[in-house]
Structure 1
């Protein structure tokens, strides 16, 4: 299936007459791995227009989670598949933390933005990655928007539910089986939305079996079958959480660009978390929206409006 086949219906739902041009980009890293992304609003037949906005998704998602938000936004944008997700390569060390992911995507973002400082938008794990990228490469980021995450909050969210969801078989006969599983866990929203999400977050292998594109499902499945390994992984997770939290706050403190936190009222960032964020970063802005954690999917038009305000100054 064409990965862009859902855009016409999404555009129609927003009242947009035509689907903007969109294409997939690939950047090869020095070690042979690739970083992939979607480029919206760049007609191949016209002069190149650098993106103004770069978007980073959360754990277990991919660049297509931003489709509706970008359609509503209506300006040139880049949505990156983080390593281990979408069409980007998996990491053999399974090290998916903000600082490591930022180092992976930095050369690709620099190349694709063509020297144009970006409004960098990151949701959940993408927000922590965005903070690390903005701290290490200030020349790439004009403003940073962090969506429903602060350091210390688990970017995987309800770990027990997510682990149980992904701890099933590593491959399936049909995508419909994955849709039914998502709906049975209360994930994906409507059947139509779940079908779109599953289709864009899975792939058909050469043997005809279907598997998730992201590495997290395979890691969860492996841990589910090995209680000792799962216990060890959980202990390690707790041991490094403090260091990652400190690193996240250090990254945010080092960001020279203006920062905005978008908090979903039903998301992961609690009012005390938002107050702590504001206390640590008094110059930052905090905006609340009526949404859960995946603001880009639940309130794409509202989020697009907020991004547009920042992008257009």
Structure 2
């Protein structure tokens, strides 16, 4: 077990905290097993619970799975300087990955979705290629559809301040945004992505400064696509791109471009899934991840 600060045991996992790049506390669920560690970093607006089902599958397969709440998300700290640029998230990935290497004596495999994928790609590049053992990018590539990005940010911003009067109202909002996904029978999972305010309203479980702060996620380099392409081209570790075939962000053309940048990379094109691949078709997603891990 990692020597990160342990707080409590929940179901099959231990809830603990790691330290981010700026001393910020990052909440984590650790699904301990005998095998090597696999780190999970979620997308913007999500929490570590997006990986619960997959993490348990890896634990059952003998892998230690560690799912992190990124800065400003879930149970992790809202950073006082409101620094939520991609470089800030990448610095946290590097900080946690180095901690994992010290604790377990091996470089971690990282699975990152969207924001988590971009951050992990940047962290590996800035480390001089010595940070990770392998990388799985979930529906994210150096170049993505701008209209898809805008649609996601628009959904996140829409009820950011106002919130919802109930979990049911939040579920209605998600159903309108994702009309092709079946509405869950239970709202218990949704409750993990919302926080109940003193005014009795539910709001998303992330810091609004992520969107509208002084250093929001939109803060970036002058030419982010060129930077990410350079980072991808430099990848020398085993790499898997998992794409939702109905993704609003990563087109077939974008996936092909990525495979040209990283010729040794593998592609899993998941039918019936959009950008939220793990949530849309977790069965296929899990199978692709476990198959890839068997090759490492």
- For the pair 1:275 / 2:256, whether they are aligned, the reply is yes
Which residue number corresponds to residue 45 of structure 1?
none
Per-residue deviation, residues 248-283 of structure 1 (Å, max 9, x unmatched): 122223333122212221112212111211222222
- For the pair 1:100 / 2:95, whether they are aligned, the reply is no
CA distance in 2, matches of 1:93, 1:189: 37
Contact preservation (8 Å) 1:99, 1:129: yes
Please give the TM-score of this superposition, normalised by the length of structure 1.
0.75
Bigger proportion of residues as helix: 1
Unaligned segments of structure 1, at least 5 residues: 6-18, 43-48, 224-228
Cα gap change, 1:93/1:266 in structure 2, threshold over 3 Å: closer, same or farther? farther
1:301-312, aligned counterparts within 5 Å? 301-312=283-294
CA distance in 2, matches of 1:96, 1:259: 26
CA distance in 2, matches of 1:311, 1:214: 31
Which residue number corresponds to residue 261 of structure 1?
241
After TM superposition, the structure 1 stretch with the greater mean CA deviation from structure 2, 177-186 or 79-88, is 177-186
Which residue number corresponds to residue 151 of structure 1?
142
Which residue number corresponds to residue 38 of structure 2?
53
The RMSD of aligned alpha carbons is 3.3
Cα gap change, 1:148/1:193 in structure 2, threshold over 3 Å: closer, same or farther? farther
Count of matched residue positions in the alignment of Structure 1 and Structure 2: 278
Contact preservation (8 Å) 1:102, 1:130: yes
Residue number among 177, 186, 195 corresponding to 2:169 in the alignment: 177
Residue number among 95, 112, 117 corresponding to 1:122 in the alignment: 112
Per-residue deviation, residues 156-207 of structure 1 (Å, max 9, x unmatched): 9352464245322444443333223322333693332672443111122455
Please give the TM-score of this superposition, normalised by the length of structure 2.
0.79
Which residue number corresponds to residue 14 of structure 1?
none
CA distance in 2, matches of 1:294, 1:308: 18
CA distance in 2, matches of 1:40, 1:186: 30
- For the pair 1:68 / 2:53, whether they are aligned, the reply is yes
Residue number among 171, 175, 190 corresponding to 2:182 in the alignment: 190
Which residue number corresponds to residue 46 of structure 1?
none
Which residue number corresponds to residue 244 of structure 1?
224
CA distance in 1, matches of 2:73, 2:147: 14
CA distance in 1, matches of 2:152, 2:135: 30
Per-residue deviation, residues 203-228 of structure 1 (Å, max 9, x unmatched): 22455443221125x665x69xxxxx
Contact preservation (8 Å) 1:125, 1:156: no
Which residue number corresponds to residue 299 of structure 1?
281
In structure 2, the residue corresponding to 1:215 is in which secondary structure? Answer: coil
- For the pair 1:80 / 2:60, whether they are aligned, the reply is no
In structure 2, the residue corresponding to 1:180 is in which secondary structure? Answer: helix
Unaligned segments of structure 2, at least 5 residues: 1-7
1:214-225, aligned counterparts within 5 Å? 214-216=206-208
Which residue number corresponds to residue 202 of structure 1?
194
After TM superposition, the structure 1 stretch with the greater mean CA deviation from structure 2, 130-139 or 202-211, is 202-211
| Rg larger in structure | 1
CA distance in 1, matches of 2:22, 2:84: 17
